[in-house]
Structure 1
Amino acid sequence: MKLFLHQDRALNETYDQNRVAYYLDMGLGKTFVGSEKMWELNTPYNLVICQKSKIGDWKEHFETHYPEYHVIIFDKQSLDKIPKDSVLIINYDKVWRRPELEKLNHFTLMLDESSMIKNEKSNRSKFILSLAADNVILLSGTPTGGKYEELWSQLHLLGWNISKKLFMKQFVVYEWDELNQKNKIVGYKNVDRLKRKLRKHGAVFMKTDEVFDLPKVNDQIVKIPGTKEYMQFAKDHIIELDDELLVGDTSTTKKLYLRQLAGVYNQNKLQYVKDLIDSTNDRIIIFYNFKKEYAALVEMIDRPIATINGDLKDLNAYDEHENSVTLIQYQAGAMGLNLQKANKIVYFSLTDKSELFEQSKKRIHRIGQERPCFYYYLLTAGSIEWRMKEVLEQRKDYSDELFEEEEM
């Protein structure tokens, strides 16, 4: 298999290490680097843990480029019947429900999008950290989403046996929050030392602009007219729309309905999307959050539609039709997809997760893209969406806590 020079460089830098992390920017081919490292390590068994939407992609990758492997989507098979030279593929949500994997020995563990174990107290993280892997390969374009405190689980797998308490003390800056009467993270320290330690423990960092000259990125901020319904709900925390009653009785539900009132309940935004689609015959990618948004968009769009969400993955229209519209729910499709046939992304609504936001932008701005990329951010005037965009640009999640502070 012929690799790019930067992929060879990543492998050469970690040749003598058996616990590695390839933190390569989205689009730089982490899949090829990770699978080639796995082949070099040459263990009898290999376990790949990935997102559910990526299982088919990994199976196809190994069957195409490594025919010597037995590729198995692991569900309820008996480990006794697994042949040597196997690659077992399982998703993050299932892996901790397969306790038999704790009996697996002499294997290489590979985590695709290793940021999925950032919460060391979750069932998936605790289970993965308990596995007796001989070798570890971590893959991610956004290992922290800008939050170094979320690195600890990955550091543990790389063999840096620093306690969470000591790690936080050495690298995280706190400030007392009078409102909530607790410490909150306001920044980081000793970052250069942290990066040196990471490299010592097998981490390779690589940004796209260090490797390729990709086309220009163009951000288009579109101010969508607001609605009286949004203003009424923001004031009263309750509104009736047709036969539906929206009640913002908690900060979570209020934030949810404000986002929906700025999005799917705003006919001005739906009309803008329709006009934008009608203005071009190019492929368009639309990111959205909620099922109601998907239903409204599907009803409105009169073109071939491709879909990626928790219920459906169908990219046939994207592959076959130049004028297709691809609707992607963030959680299901912000990571891992190669969509560089398109060069336009429309953000119908914003995610509140920084990592998903950053990943989504790289679906079209990656190796193979030859045209300038256009990102259309549809923000309803006077709405919560402007603050969400501001927070996401700071590589932070827009949390309930932030929302409550702004309301006060």
Structure 2
Amino acid sequence: MGRDEREAAGRGARLCDAARNVVADHGRAVEAVRAALAPIHDAAVRRDLDAIPVTRLQDVTEGRLRLGSVEQSGLRTVGAVLDAGSYRLRQIPGVGQRTVDQMLAAARRLSDAVHETVAVHIDVDRPEPETTALVMALHVLVEAGPEARRAVDRAGALAGRLGPLLADAGPAAGWFRMLLAGREKKARAMAAVTEIRSLLDEAERAELPVLFAQASVDLLRGPSSDLAAWADFELRSADYYGLLAEISGRSPDTAAAEGFLPDEIAERVRTQRLDDSQRRVSLRGYQAFGARFALAQRNVILGDEMGLGKTIQAIAVLAHLAAEGRSHFMVVCPASVLVNWIREIEARSALRVLLLHGPDRRDGFADWKGRGGVAVTTFDALRGFPAPGGGEVGLFVVDEAHTVKNPKAKRSQAVAEWAERCERTLFMTGTPMENRVAEFRNLVGMLDRGVAQALDDGDALAGSVAFRKAVAPVYLRRNQQDVLTELPSLQRTDEWEELSAADEEAYREAVRAGNFMAMRRAAYACPERSAKLERLLEIVGEAGENGQKTVVFSYFKDVLQVVRAALADGTAVFGPLTGAVPAARRQRIVDEYAAAPGPAVLLAQIQAAGVGLNMQAASVVVLCEPQVKPTIEHQAVARAHRMGQVRPVRVHRLLATGGVDERLVRILERKTRLFDAYARRSAVAEATPDAIDVSDADLARRIVEEEQARLGLPVASATATATATATE
């Protein structure tokens, strides 16, 4: 046994220590979250128990308890009964020991149920010391990201393999120990050293030492301040709540998260491996199940309700297949979400992505054919591309698949041909299909003719259980109320749209005139060809399909009139609320909107309705354009995202690429997160949302001049028009 063996054993021991340190660092970070969560959770449990009337104990004991004397003694809630305890309860006239025992047992059963089901909600507008501590503890794990979790998993596995080998290789640590070892121990030590060398080589190839070192650094690095943690929480609240649900163990009901699939299909999906090496985002449990469903069943419809992350689940499937060696993928979607798909794939995966749109789409298609990647195109463009050979495309993704339900439409025929030739197909739609069996059968027929032929109109009439059982091999749908028990109450999405030719011409005219306000609303100048308006109608339509109310905000009165005119006949529309509507009348309009049965749309000028009105009936918020002052956006969103809101609020901000919106967003993002967080909590900012920032006019003038230069237009005076007010 020479120096090489001793060195190998030493390197193995150091790598094993590094692996164990990563696992320990992660464990400490998780324990910090649990410690911060405990008092908040206990307080939430206490509030719930104090709100449960003592009469509920009769329900638990099937009416066997007589509680009149207990209530008369002043113990009116389950929390009060638990606080009283056995001794005080026995002092109540007419209450014996048997009744006390039954009462406390029933109260403890209710307490246990509340402990299991109570959800902790983090109020970003009222940060308390306890919630601040929780956000800061979660921040460590969120900042460390999926790479740290991957490092922990690899470290645990490696330490498990190295530990026994290092024990066997003990004699190799020194020549004297080797000399004293018997023949069998020497042989075992030599074999262990050989295996350790193999593991070291494997670890070096996978760059595990670097991965472990970086993970430990990330897990030990805390936020620079509580404001930094709060600001990050607002930006990535979904990640925070996902971790919170995982660590607390209070995940949604398994059957609901798995879409109430039959046991045999659910078990097949659970055992499906999901490779995350090409993915840059963590998945919630139900999202991972959705990705596994698509992989295990091969040709499926993912019908999750809007807001559950269907795009992320699709990207997870793409990333898995890419890690397995598949090279070509195709995504087809409406033109209004092309840019979103490109940005999401770039941000959340390591995959190459190509946009096949516009006059160069055929050149892009040829490039994709030759080099591979994820091609993203529109339904109309897809018709111009030759269908692939069998097995050439690893996954064919169809977003907003309900738009190809008509088999006679050319876009539907093109999709059907591609689906037949691709190895796997994933249809995505947030529109519920349970009561549209004929349309649903057409979609299913593109994926599995056998299931489609077995599906008849009676399945839907028999109820959702019968329907889901009939379509389970190809269809998975989860609803928010079933799986978002700990989900963030606010989800923000930037909807990037490419201007249509008509939009572009209106925009150029506004830039030529140096009119900043006209530039901001140019995307609505030609309603019949407005890309933003088209996406807005899709969002409103999907919300309506799911029985949700929508509020649409714009800075401009004329934009709201355009939206009102474009909404489909039969849509319940309220407003617009503008500065010209008296304050008392504004609240009556909001009350009528809230009282309207089913879906409805409220139109509101952002300055007039962004402060003082409660719109918690709305669970979908659309911002027609970005605002110059971030506080105006935040306060408008807060009208819906406030106490009394029972569903998560989704905010869609409509943005146009390449022009004033992109420049405005980029400039505003340059402000530090800390300043932004502070400003949003400033009493002055909240009291005076319409206060004019002295830099607003300069900001507008600079954007106008930059756009004139970009478009090669003569510079016009922007002074008079850049600071135009919202009365336009």
Provide TM-score, normalisation by structure 1: 0.51
Corresponding position of 1:62? 345
Counterpart of 1:343 in structure 2 is: 641
Structure having the larger proportion of residues in strand:
1
Quick one: distance in 2 between partners of 1:318 and 1:341? 17
Contact 2:433 2:440 in 1 (8 A): yes
Work out the CA distance in 2 between the residues paired with 1:151 and 1:264: 35
- Distance in 2, matches of 1:118 and 1:263, equals 31
2:442 is aligned with 1:153: yes
Which residue of structure 1 lines up, in the alignment, with residue 355 of structure 2? 72
Partner of 1:9: 289
Distance 2:301 2:352 in 1: 23
Q: Distance in 1 between matches of 2:328 and 2:299?
A: 16
- State the SS of the aligned residue for 1:20: strand
The answer to whether the 8 A contact 2:606-2:636 is kept is no
Q: Matched residues in 1 for 2:330 and 2:354: separation?
A: 10
Q: Give the equivalent residue in structure 1 for 2:470.
A: 197
2:297 and 2:473 in contact (8 A); partners too: no
Question: Deviation at 1:128?
Answer: 0.8
**Which of these residues, 262, 270, 275, is aligned with residue 586 of structure 2?**
275
- Secondary structure at the aligned position of 1:16 is classed as helix
User: Identity of paired residues, percent?
Assistant: 14
2:448 counterpart SS class = coil
The yes-or-no answer on 1:44 pairing with 2:327 is yes
2:438 is equivalent to residue 140 of structure 1:
no
Give the alignment partner of residue 633 of structure 2, picking from 322, 326, 329.
322
Query: Residues of 2 paired with 1:68 and 1:33: CA distance?
Result: 15
Give the aligned residue type for 2:481. Answer: D
Deviation at 1:276, TM superposition (A): 4.2
Deviation for aligned residue 1:198: 2.0
Are 1:99 and 2:379 an aligned pair? no
- Aligned residues of 1:47 and 1:88 also touching (Cα < 8 A): yes
- Partner of 1:363, secondary structure, is strand
Pairing 1:154-169 to 2, within 5 Å after superposition: 154-161=443-450, 167=455
* Structure-2 change in CA distance of 1:148 and 1:270 (3 Å): farther
Contact between 2:451 and 2:471, CA under 8 Å: does it hold in 1?
no
1:313-351 CA-partner distances (Å, limit 9, x unpaired) = 63456966336669xxxxxxxxxxxxx99528xxxxxxx
1:171 to 434, 446, 457: 457
SS in structure 2 of the partner of residue 120 of structure 1:
coil
Point out where structure 2 has 5 or more consecutive residues left out of the alignment: 1-280, 490-546, 550-567, 591-598, 612-620, 653-728
Distance 1:363 1:271 in 2: 28
Q: Does 1:120 align with 2:407?
A: yes
- Residue 336 of structure 2 aligns with which residue? 53
Q: CA deviation at 1:60?
A: 0.6
For the residue of structure 1 that corresponds to 2:371, the secondary structure is coil
Query: Structure 1 208/273 Cα, relative in aligned 2: closer, same or farther at 3 Å?
Result: farther
Amino acid at match of 1:197: A
Q: Give me the whole-angstrom Cα distance separating, in 2, the residues matched to 1:44 and 1:28.
A: 27
The answer to which structure has the higher helix fraction is 2
Q: Which amino acid aligns with 1:80?
A: A
- Please give the root-mean-square deviation of Cα atoms over the aligned residues, in Å: 4.8
Amino acid in the other structure paired with 1:24: D
Q: 2:301 aligns with which of 21, 31, 39?
A: 21
Distance 1:161 1:259, change over 3 A: closer
Output the CA distance in 2 between the equivalents of 1:314 and 1:49: 26
For residue 20 of structure 1, report the CA deviation from its aligned partner: 2.5
**Alpha carbons of 1:276 and 1:51: their partners in 2 closer, same or farther (altered >3 Å)?**
farther
SS class of match (1:206): coil
Shift of residue 109, structure 1, vs aligned partner: 1.0
Q: Summarize the Cα distance change of 1:63–1:197 in structure 2 as closer, same or farther, 3 Å threshold.
A: same
Going from structure 1 to structure 2, the CA distance change for 1:299 and 1:199 (only over 3 Å counts) comes to: closer
Deviation at 1:130, TM superposition (A): 1.6
Mapped partners of 2:639, 2:627: distance in 1: 13
8 Å contact 1:109–1:136 — kept in the other structure? yes
Give the structure 1 partner of residue 373 of structure 2: 86
Per-residue CA deviations over 1:349-386 (Å, capped at 9, x if unaligned) read xxxxxxxxxxx996359xxxxxxxxxxxxxxxxxxxxx
Distance 1:18 1:123 in 2: 25
Give 1:207's aligned amino acid. N
| Count of aligned pairs between the two proteins | 264
| Cα offset, 1:110, TM superposition | 0.6
Report the alpha carbon displacement of residue 104 of structure 1 after superposing the two structures with TM. Answer: 6.5
Stretches of structure 1 lacking an aligned partner (at least 5 in a row): 174-186, 222-254, 280-286, 327-339, 345-359, 366-408
Question: 2:388–2:422: 8 Å Cα contact kept in structure 1?
Answer: no
Secondary structure of 1:24's aligned partner = coil
Alpha-carbon distance in 1 for matches of 2:290, 2:444: 18
Residue 481 of structure 2: aligned partner: 209
| Structure 1 residue 89 displacement after superposition | 1.4
Counterpart Cα distance in 2 of 1:156 and 1:206: 22
Q: Which amino acid aligns with 2:384?
A: P
| Distance of 1:133 and 1:342 partners within structure 2 | 43
Q: TM-score, normalised by structure 2?
A: 0.30
Measured in 1, the distance between the counterparts of 2:286 and 2:397 equals: 20
Residue 115 of structure 1 contacts residue 143 of structure 1 at CA under 8 Å; is this kept in 2?
no
Assess, with a 3 A threshold, how the Cα gap between structure 1 residues 319 and 114 changes in structure 2: closer, same or farther. Answer: farther
Q: How far is the alpha carbon of 1:7 from its aligned partner?
A: 1.4
> Residue 205 of structure 1: CA displacement?
2.3
Q: RCO greater where, 1 or 2, for CA within 8 Å and sep 6 or more?
A: 1
- Alpha carbons of structure 1 residues 50 and 362: separation in structure 2 relative to 1, 3 Å: farther
Q: What is the alpha-carbon distance in structure 2 between the residues aligned to residue 34 and residue 60 of structure 1?
A: 14
Contact in 2 for aligned 1:62/1:71 (Cα 8 Å): no
1:45-82 CA-to-partner distances (Å, cap 9, x unmatched) read 21112232221111111111223313324342233222
Distance 1:341 1:136, change over 3 A: farther
State the distance in 2 between where 1:64 and 1:298 align: 33
Q: How far 1:40 sits from its partner (Å)?
A: 1.9
The aligned counterpart of 1:363 is: 650
